[in-house]
Amino acid sequence: MKDNRLAGKVAVVTGASSGIGQGIAVAMGRAGASVVINYHSDEDGARTTQQQIEQGGSQAIIMQADVGKQEEAQQLIDAAIKHFGRLDILVNNAGVQQDKDFLEMTLEDWEKVMSTNLTGHFLCAQAAAREFVKRQVQPQERTSAGNIIFISSVHDIIPWAGRANYTAAKGGLQMLMKTLAQELAKYKIRVNAISPGAIKTDINRQEWETEEGKQKMLSQIPYGRIGEPEDIAKVAVWLATDEADYITGTTLYVDGGMTLYPSFG
């Protein structure tokens, strides 16, 4: 159902051709935002996202970019200004896993994950923040000059064997988010993170597709169900609205209780 909570706003969502990014892009469109849909390699997925947004009555364009490349990250932010005349929200969602036992992990495995999951978030955040600072929003106003939302993971605090590259990137993201929130607050730029638990997407398909894998996942979720992209999307929309205007530098764990040390239950 369409609402107007983000009417007049423009959002860039990275990695929006599938999973959580697609869910967020569609939900932001339904809330009235115009959306720049970034994709890396799945153009069909991006078109599906675009169709869903347009069917809901909002505008969307698609932009291919590798967020880990500076020029392409900049082009993504420029596209919002060029096509919609402004930028209000950046959702840094793009992410990959390249799991490997630590003793076998190559520099290539490490750099691939760092490039997308950490450097890419830095590059897009910097390009967006340089745009946001042009706005002159006064401290007493109950609105921000711009919003940056990082899609992190419960693995920014839960170690995860066999994924040293992924956990290091997500842990790094947590401090990147907090530091930017502190540094950019004077410009009235809000910076927050959402850390999902287990959400049913392509990234963990191998786990939830088998009964054994699904039961293992459920054993780590006190709330008793695996999350859906919409669970994250609803929170991202709310975090981007002025209802959340006093929230900056925070990580919202949207995880059905995964971070509650369920084995102690």
| Catalytic site positions | 166
Q: Which is nearer to ligand NAD, 181 or 193 (CB)?
A: 193
Binding mask 223-262 for ligand NAD (x = CB under 6 A): ----------------------------------------
Task: Write out the H or E segment, with its range, that includes residue 146.
Answer: strand 146-151
Q: Which of 10, 11, 20, 237 binds ligand NAD (CB under 6 A)?
A: 20
Q: Does 42 bind ligand NAD (CB under 6 A)?
A: yes
Quick one: angle between helices 164-184 and 120-132, nearest 10?
10
- Cα gap 61→45, rounded to integer Å: 13
Chain centroid to CA 140: how far?
28
Q: Taking contact as CB under 6 A, which single stretch among the options 10-18, 24-32, 135-143, 243-251 is the one that binds ligand NAD?
A: 10-18
CB of 94 to ligand NAD, least distance (A): 3
Coarse DSSP helix, strand, coil percentages of the chain, rounded to the nearest 5 percent: 50, 15, 35
Q: Does 21 bind ligand NAD (CB under 6 A)?
A: yes
206: exposed, middle or buried (C-beta count within 10 Å: 0-12, 13-18, 19+)?
Answer: exposed
Q: Does 19 bind ligand NAD (CB under 6 A)?
A: yes
CB of 11 to ligand NAD, least distance (A): 15
- Cα gap 37→118, rounded to integer Å: 19
63: exposed, middle or buried (C-beta count within 10 Å: 0-12, 13-18, 19+)?
Answer: buried
Q: Does 94 bind ligand NAD (CB under 6 A)?
A: yes
Using CB under 6 A as the binding criterion, the count of chain residues that bind ligand NAD stands at 29
Q: Cα(first)–Cα(last) distance of the chain, in Å?
A: 38
Binding mask 145-174 for ligand NAD (x = CB under 6 A): ------x-x---------------------
Binding mask 96-115 for ligand NAD (x = CB under 6 A): x-------------------
Q: Which is nearer to ligand NAD, 68 or 172 (CB)?
A: 68
Is residue 229 within 8 Å of residue 52, measured between CB atoms?
Answer: no
Q: Does 29 bind ligand NAD (CB under 6 A)?
A: no
Nearest to 116 by CA among 169, 156, 160, 179: 169
The residues of the shown chain that bind ligand NAD, judged by CB under 6 A, are 14-15, 17-21, 38, 40-42, 66-68, 93-96, 116, 120, 151, 153, 196, 198-199, 201-204
